[in-house]
Amino acid sequence: MEALEENGVDYRYFELPHSGHGLQNDDKIYEQYMLAVEEYLDRYMSE
């Protein structure tokens, strides 16, 4: 993350402390993550 900050890269970091390899145990954070994915897709993948 330090390299991202040093180079001015916009990023979001999501930590899901109760989920291990899946995302099933942190519903609120998973919802925030999915909203961020939608925003990214709208910004960079839409026409």
Confidence (pLDDT) at 22 = 76
- Which of 10, 11, 27, 7 lies closest to 19, judged by CA? 27
Domain extents in the chain: 10-45
Q: 42 pLDDT exceeds 90? A: yes
Q: What percent of the chain has pLDDT over 70?
A: 100
Q: 23 pLDDT exceeds 80? A: no
Say what the pTM is. Answer: 0.73
Distance CA 15, CA 30 (A): 9
